[in-house]
C-alpha cells in the first residue's frame, strides 16, 4: 500500500435546525444540486481508497439522493456529536486499510479537491496523528479557535462557548475538516466524552487527547476562507447560491459564451452551453440543460432539463421543460 493512501468520511447526519426545516440540510437545493453533492464530488475527485458518508436525519432520502458506486453509508441513528459519528463508524473503519482518514463536513460547497490533496500530503509529510484544516476570519464568532503551540503544532481547539476573552480574539479557526492517522484515531476514540459545554462527543476533543499522549497535531491553513465555510442557514444558502451562479456565469464567459448580465441570470451547476451563444438577462437554465453553439436566448425564458441544438433562438418569456 502507498504511504499516502487515504479514505474519506463525510459527516452528513444532522438535521437542518438553523434552516428551520424538517428536511436534512444535505437535501436543500443549491444551484441545481443537493447541498451535500458538492463536498461528495470534491471528495471523490481525489480518488480516495474508500468513501464513507455518515447519515442520520431522513436517512433513506439521503441514501436515494447520493447513492453511487464506491460510496458506503453509515447510519447514525442518534446524533450525539461529530465524535459519536466516528464511534458509530468504527466497525467500518476497523475494516478500512488506509493509513489516513480525512473527515469532512458535508456543507462546504466551495471546497476544492486540490485542497484535500494538499491536506493529505501535509499530514503524511508531517507524520502527524492529526492535521487540522484551518483558516483565518475577520470575524471568527461562533467558530472553534486554534490554540497553537510552537510552529505549526496545534495544542487544542477551543469552542466559542468556553473560550476566554483572550482566546476569542484569535482569528484562526477550525474548519471542521481534519486528517487523522486511522490507527491513532481508533486507538483513542474511546477517550471521547460528552462532558463538555455542548454535552456531545466532539471530534475536536481528540486534538487535546492526542497532545496529552504526546502525539503530533499540526495545522494546515487554507488562504481562501470561503472554501471551507459551511452553509448554516437559509441566509447563507442564498449567499452561496449567488456566489456559485456568478462563478458559473464567469466560467461560461471564459469559454466563449456571452452572459449579458450575470447577476440577473440563473444557470445551474451542471448546465452546458456552447460558444458564441448569447444569454440575455433574466434567463434561467436549470437541471441538466444543454445549449448548443451560437444560440440566442432572449430575456426571461426558463429552460429545464432540455437540449437545444446549434443556432437556436428562443423568444422572450418561453418555458421549455424536458424537451
What are 180's strand-pairing partners? Answer: 101, 130
Query: Could you tell me which residues come within 8 angstroms of residue 53 by beta carbon, excluding any fewer than 6 positions away?
Result: 9, 10, 12, 36, 40, 62, 66, 71, 72, 73, 74, 106
- Residue 298 a catalytic site member: no
220 closest CA partner among 99, 107, 128, 142: 128
Q: At what angle do helices 59-66 and 35-45 cross, to 10 degrees?
A: 50
Instruction: Return the sign of the alpha-carbon dihedral for residues 302, 242, 230, 183.
Output: positive
Q: Which three cell numbers stand for residue 277?
A: 451563444
Alpha-carbon separation of residue 42 from 35, 46, 57 (angstroms): 12, 7, 23
Catalytic residue among 18, 90, 153, 234: 18
Query: Which residues are marked as active site?
Result: 18
Amino acid at each position: 500500500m502507498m504511504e499516502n493512501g487515504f479514505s474519506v468520511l463525510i459527516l452528513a447526519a444532522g438535521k437542518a435546525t438553523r434552516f428551520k426545516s424538517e428536511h436534512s440540510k444535505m437535501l436543500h437545493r443549491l444551484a441545481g444540486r443537493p447541498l451535500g453533492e458538492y463536498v461528495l464530488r470534491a471528495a471523490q475527485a481525489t480518488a480516495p481508497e474508500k468513501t464513507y458518508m455518515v447519515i442520520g436525519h431522513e436517512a433513506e432520502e439521503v441514501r436515494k439522493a447520493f447513492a453511487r458506486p464506491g460510496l458506503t453509508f453509515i447510519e447514525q441513528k442518534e446524533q450525539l456529536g461529530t465524535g459519536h459519528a466516528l464511534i458509530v463508524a468504527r466497525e467500518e473503519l476497523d475494516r478500512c486499510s488506509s493509513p489516513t482518514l480525512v473527515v469532512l463536513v458535508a456543507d462546504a460547497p466551495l471546497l476544492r479537491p486540490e485542497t484535500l490533496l494538499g491536506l493529505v500530503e501535509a499530514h503524511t509529510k508531517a507524520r502527524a496523528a492529526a492535521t487540522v484544516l484551518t483558516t483565518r476570519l475577520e470575524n471568527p464568532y461562533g467558530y472553534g479557535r486554534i490554540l497553537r503551540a510552537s510552529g505549526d503544532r496545534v495544542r487544542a481547539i477551543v469552542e466559542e462557548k468556553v473560550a476566554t476573552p483572550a482566546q476569542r480574539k484569535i482569528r484562526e479557526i477550525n474548519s471542521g475538516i481534519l486528517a487523522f492517522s486511522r490507527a491513532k484515531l481508533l486507538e483513542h476514540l474511546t477517550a471521547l466524552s460528552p462532558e463538555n459545554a455542548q454535552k456531545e462527543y466532539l471530534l475536536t476533543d481528540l486534538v487535546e487527547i492526542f497532545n496529552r499522549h504526546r502525539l503530533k497535531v499540526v495545522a494546515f491553513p487554507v488562504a481562501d476562507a470561503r472554501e471551507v465555510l459551511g452553509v448554516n442557514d437559509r441566509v447563507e444558502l442564498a449567499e452561496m447560491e449567488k456566489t456559485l451562479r456568478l462563478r458559473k456565469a464567469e466560467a461560461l464567459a471564459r469559454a466563449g459564451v456571452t452572459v449579458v448580465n450575470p447577476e440577473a441570470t440563473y444557470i445551474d451547476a451542471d448546465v452546458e452551453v456552447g460558444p458564441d451563444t448569447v444569454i440575455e438577462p433574466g434567463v434561467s437554465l436549470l437541471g441538466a440543460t444543454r445549449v448548443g453553439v451560437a444560440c440566442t436566448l432572449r430575456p426571461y425564458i426558463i429552460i429545464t432539463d432540455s437540449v437545444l441544438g446549434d443556432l437556436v433562438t428562443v423568444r422572450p418569456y418561453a418555458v421549455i421543460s424536458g424537451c
